[in-house]
Structure 1
Amino acid sequence: YVAGHAVFSNYLNILYVRGAGEVAVFCGALFGACLGFLWFNAYPAQVFMGDVGSLALGGALGTIAVVAKHELLLLIIGGLFVIETLSVMIQVVSFKLTGKRVFRMAPLHHHFEEKGWQEPKVIVRFWIIAIVLALISLSTLKLR
């Protein structure tokens, strides 16, 4: 929100983003919707997100990154999603070229479940990775 005010953004030495107030309101609404979803998606999950919800959420996050002029930070924050996608791509390419699988199952979280990890253990480990990636991306905001 502060990035939308020229005086405050100049004083704090952050990038001025025109219309950041509206983006902040949208981000708040998106955060509230995700929090409500996660309340019912906690283990054991009662509600599952489908393609429409995940694609809309990804599109909204991508749009926010472009409007805020922090596109590269989206790759860092979403690093876990990138790794999951890459694991599927590696699995498919490896199987088509060599006939062998790199992972027991793709995406990567299913590979860990096949190795005997319990679902809550996989979830907590992925949370830790996501928090570390978020902290890394937050620490790079002032490195311009």
Structure 2
Amino acid sequence: MLNIDSIENGIVIDHITAGRGMRVYELLELDKLDTCVAIIKNAKSNKFGRKDIIKIEGVLNIDLDVLGFIDNNATVCTILNGRLVEKKKPTLPEKLVNIVSCKNPRCITSIEDVDQVFYLCDEKAHRYRCKYCEQEYKK
């Protein structure tokens, strides 16, 4: 069995849907951090069967909108002095800014240097639409 040490100060993103851990890593830009980051893929979970986990040493905040967009089933645990001090559950954000790009070649975002803005249009189906052209974002 693989053993990953606990962290003293930082964040643990737990209950990430199995297979989505690397996407979380990319969109949160964790590769740009100058700190220890552990990604655990396909860990056993009593609740979900399998899950991914990310442990980030020394970082105490992350973009919950990005995490909520990728996987709103995840939990964010803040660890201080080896103890859990806060547990958050991200929600689907109403608005995404520069997280995903519009694929419509006729959209203003493909020719102008403007923010990529999407609004939540269907919470149950996790669907977003471009602010400028109404193109639906497809994962």
- TM-score, normalised by the number of residues in structure 1: 0.24
The structure with the larger Rg is: 1
| Structure ranking higher in helix proportion | 1
- TM-score, normalised by the number of residues in structure 2: 0.24
Higher relative contact order (CA 8 A, sep 6+): 2
